[in-house]
Amino acid sequence: MKFKFGLLITLMLLQLPALAQDRAIGAKAGLLGIGIEYSHGFGERLAVRGGVYGSSYSFDATESGIAYDFELSWDSLAVALDLHPFTGPFRLSVGLLKNDNGLSAVSTPTQDIVVGDTTYTPAEVGSLIAGVGFDGTAPFLGLGWDWSKSKRFGVSLDLGIVKQGSPVVTMIGTGTLFGDPNFADDIAAETIELRNALDDLDILPFASLGLSFRF
């Protein structure tokens, strides 16, 4: 479905009327992942840009005394309107992400741990498995510089913020107490603590660096 959506955006951009004066394709890397973009310009001041981004990153972190293996997944499509107020490289951008960015977390204790307010054995807990998601549609604002505007090849730099909503966290334990009401209550308490720890991701800053080819 995501591939079809991205293909539709690309086809729509390719079919824009002849008013457009230039086109560009580019590769980008940054805090939204690694991506490919297509841009269609209207005169010197306005352009429409679409992109597909994806990547993943794994790291370890401790939350509420529990050690987790986290995996951050970047997975999004973007459509943006770029305004060049001074007709030069500087641009202001506004757009939308089809946002499937998220986190997964797994903790498999090897000794007794506290979940909620209760101490459990490794067998009782099994593995704690958590998933973190955000709003499916996320608006973003940005500013940047596209130094390929006056040449065939060039670099670009973009800075901005994405409003992706408060994190939605789910968690289960796979051990011998799976389904136990008291254990479920402690899992719910741990879920709230993890959600609170990630609440700052509501507003996600980003920076990206790209290479563009104009044709």
Helix (H, G, I), strand (E, B) or coil at 166: coil
Q: pLDDT (tens digit, 0 to 9) for every residue of the chain, 215 residues total?
A: 544 555 555 555 455 444 445 899 999 999 999 999 999 999 889 999 999 999 999 999 999 899 999 999 999 999 999 999 998 899 999 999 999 999 999 999 999 999 999 999 999 999 999 999 999 999 999 999 999 887 889 999 999 999 999 999 999 999 999 999 999 999 999 999 999 999 999 999 999 999 999 98
Taking the whole predicted model, whether its pTM rises above 0.75 is answered as yes
- Of 92, 87, 76, 70, whose CA–CA distance to 32 is shortest? 76
Helix boundaries (H) for 108-180: 122-125
Domains present along the chain, CATH in parentheses: 2-214 (2.40.160.170)
